[in-house]
Chains A and B, each alone.
Chain A
Amino acid sequence: MRHDLFFDVAHLLAGGLVLMSFLMLYQDRLYALINVFAGHAIVLTLSVAWQAYVQDAPHLYVTAFIALGFKAIIIPIALHRIVERLGIHREIETVLNIGLTMLGGIGLVALSVVVMLRVAPGGDPLAREDLAFALSVVLLGLLMMVSRRNAVSQVIGFMSLENGLILAATGAKGMPLVVEISVAFSVLIAFIVIGIFLFRIRERFDTVDIQALDSFRGEIE
Chain B
Amino acid sequence: MSFAWFNPIVAILAIPAGAAILLTLLPGYRLTSRLNVLASFLTFVSALALFVTERHSSQFFLIDDVNIGFVTLTTFVAFTTSVFSASYIGHELETGRLTPTYLRFYHAMYQALMFAMNLALVANNIGLMWVAIEMATLTTVLMVGIYRTPAALEAAWKYFILGSVGIALALFGTILVYVAARATVGEGLDAMQWTTLVAHASSFDSALLNVAFVFLLLGYGTKVGLAPLHAWLPDAHAEGPTPISAVLSGLLLNVALYALLRFKLMLATNTGAIATGSLMVAMGLLSLIFASFMLYRRRDIKRLFAYSSIEHMGIITFAFGMGGPLANFAALLHMTMHSLTKSAIFFGIGHVAQIKGTQKIADIRGLTETHPILGWGLLLGVVAIAGLPPLGIFMSEFLVVTSTFAREPALAVLLVFGILLALGALFLRANGVAFGEPCGSRAPSGASYTPMYAHLALVAMAGIYLPPPIVAWFQHVARLLG
User: A residues engaging B (CB < 8 A)?
Assistant: 115-116, 118-120, 122-123, 127, 131, 134-135, 138, 142, 145, 151, 154, 158, 161-162, 165, 168-169, 172-176, 178-179, 182-183, 186, 189-190, 193-194, 197, 200-201, 204-205, 210, 213-214, 216-219, 221
Q: Which residues of B in the span 138-167 have a Cβ within 8 Å of any Cβ on A? A: 138, 141-142, 145, 148, 150-151, 153-154, 156-157, 160-161, 164-165
Q: Which of A123, A186, A197, A216 contacts B156 (CB 8 A)?
A: A197
Evaluate contact between A154 and B151: CB separation under 8 angstroms.
no
Closest 3 CB pairs of A and B: A174-B187, A119-B207, A179-B127
B128 interface hit (Cβ, 8 Å) = yes
Q: 16 extra interchain contacts, Cβ-Cβ under 8 A, other than A131-B179, A161-B165, A172-B178?
A: A115-B211, A123-B183, A168-B172, A172-B179, A176-B188, A176-B192, A178-B128, A179-B130, A182-B130, A182-B131, A190-B138, A193-B160, A200-B148, A210-B157, A218-B235, A219-B298
CA distance A205 to B188 in the complex (A): 48
- Chain A contacts for B17, CB-based, 8 A: none
B470 to chain A, nearest CB (A): 37
Which label, helix, strand, loop or mixed, suits the secondary structure of the B interface? helix
Q: A174-B188, A213-B157 are in contact. Are A165 and B171 (CB under 8 A)?
A: yes
Evaluate contact between A219 and B179: CB separation under 8 angstroms.
no
Evaluate contact between A138 and B145: CB separation under 8 angstroms.
no
In the complex, residue of chain B having the shortest beta-carbon distance to the beta carbon of A220: B299
Evaluate contact between B127 and A182: CB separation under 8 angstroms.
yes
In the complex, residue of chain A having the shortest beta-carbon distance to the beta carbon of B183: A123
User: B residues engaging A (CB < 8 A)?
Assistant: 125, 127-128, 130-131, 134, 138, 141-142, 145, 148, 150-151, 153-154, 156-157, 160-161, 164-165, 168-169, 171-172, 174-176, 178-180, 182-183, 187-189, 191-192, 205, 207-208, 210-211, 235, 238-239, 298-300, 303
Q: Which of A175, A190, A218 contacts B239 (CB 8 A)?
A: A218
CA distance A154 to B238 in the complex (A): 24
In the complex, residue of chain A having the shortest beta-carbon distance to the beta carbon of B207: A119
Q: A127-B179, A165-B171, A197-B160 are in contact. Are A120 and B207 (CB under 8 A)?
A: yes
CA distance A203 to B167 in the complex (A): 29
CA distance A197 to B159 in the complex (A): 12
A174 to chain B, nearest CB (A): 3
Q: Which of B125, B160, B168, B182 contacts A173 (CB 8 A)?
A: B182
Evaluate contact between B125 and A123: CB separation under 8 angstroms.
no
Most buried by B among A151, A183, A201, A214: A183
Q: A178-B128, A218-B238 are in contact. Are A123 and B168 (CB under 8 A)?
A: no
